[in-house]
Amino acid sequence: MNATKQGLPLQPVPREPAILRQEVRCAVRFPLSLPVLLSTSGNEEFAALTRDVSASGVLFELDRHLTVGLDIHFSLRMPGAVLGTPKDVLVHCLGRVVRCTISQTLYLAGATIDEYRFAEQ
């Protein structure tokens, strides 16, 4: 059955096989391993390590499962060499967990960065 919009027929677009699809990212990722302390709105705190960082999100490596949708707060000390600045920059971030999987013995949690601010130094 064809639906129409403004008189033009709409045809289903055939999907490429999964092996041919490429993941589309909206920001460049930096493979950075940075120690970070995650905190939740429930005042839980736990250590994690970043695997990669972009302007819109972070992939964390940690020892526990995080629930999708969980709001998190964290700070990253971004190396000046990566940012092109003379000194490292401390960035305070608010985000939320969008996925969490297990990889052998560690959990990998992907989180968005919904808000951030640079700390004055």
Write down the domain spans for the chain.
29-118
Give the pLDDT score at 26: 62
pLDDT reported for residue 84: 86
Regions of the chain short of the pLDDT cut 50? 1-6, 8, 10-11, 13, 18-24
pLDDT at 55: 86
Show Cβ contacts of residue 45 under 8 Å, excluding neighbours closer than 6 positions: 37, 38, 39
| Cβ atoms within 10 Å of 45's Cβ, excluding its own | 10
Q: Residue 17's pLDDT is what? A: 54
Q: What is the pLDDT of residue 34?
A: 94
**End-to-end alpha carbon distance in the chain:** 62
- Amino acid 37: pLDDT: 95
pLDDT at 18: 47
83: β partners: none
State the Cα–Cα distance between residues 48 and 53, nearest whole angstrom: 13
Q: Which class would CATH give 29-118?
A: mainly beta
Looking at residue 28, its pLDDT comes to: 80
